[in-house]
A and B are shown apart, each in its own frame.
Chain A
Amino acid sequence: KAGVTQTPRYLIKTRGQQVTLSCSPISGHRSVSWYQQTPGQGLQFLFEYFSETQRNKGNFPGRFSGRQFSNSRSEMNVSTLELGDSALYLCASSLGTGLLNTEAFFGQGTRLTVV
């Protein structure tokens, strides 16, 4: 079956702009989580959506937001971009229910560069 698809793969934006990233989970997976990965901080949890509702949220400012659609596809948005937002943004899908269903399947990520 198809894996997790993230678009676009690469993005260059200017400070102050906003950006929207997209993620299509594995068919049948209802949970989508977003992570930011940087060399200094590693993988940091942004938020998780399950059945169109935000179920968990990490410690990021309100400029970072997301949503999930009825087909489980998800988008995340970053407004008023800062240089420090440059990172690899990873989306992961999982079944989302039950202890063993936290196993995450990651997309290839979107590499965002803010200049």
Chain B
Amino acid sequence: TQLLEQSPQFLSIQEGENLTVYCNSSSVFSSLQWYRQEPGEGPVLLVTVVTGGEVKKLKRLTFQFGDARKDSSLHITAAQPGDTGLYLCAGAVYSGGGADGLTFGKGTHLIIQP
């Protein structure tokens, strides 16, 4: 069974600060995705990383996939209240015949206070 552990579970910081959330596993994933979910809504895909060591930037968000494809991090620079939400990482294992169902971490609840 593949497990993804996210840390921290909860994070509350002031607007303008930087933060990093982590997603760790003992399993290797073919790809790893990050989603953001707001209350009452479904998760929305932010990024997919597939290559070990890959770094992707999305405005103030920087995503990194670990060299061994077992972990990932999300760094937010100069956080804004609009960044508030539940951040979820999800891993997929692709075996050629198709991907297994996504394995989700339990998420990091992020609150950015004005």
Q: Give the interface of A toward B (CB within 8 A).
A: 4, 33, 35, 41-45, 47-48, 50, 55-56, 58, 90, 92, 96-97, 99-109
Contact = CB atoms under 8 A, between A and B. Distances in A.
Interface string B96-114: 0011111111110000000
B12 to A, nearest CB: 18
Interface of B: 30-31, 33, 35, 40-45, 48, 50, 88, 90, 92, 94, 98-107
Contact of A56 (B88, B101, B104): B101
Contacts of A92: 42, 102
Contacts of A58: 101
Nearest to A44: B104
Given A90-B42, A106-B43, A109-B42, A100 B48 contact: yes
Given A42-B105, A42-B106, A99 B42 contact: no
Given A43-B106, A102-B31, A104-B43, 13 more contacts: A33-B102, A41-B106, A42-B104, A43-B104, A45-B102, A47-B101, A50-B98, A90-B42, A99-B92, A100-B50, A102-B33, A106-B35, A106-B44
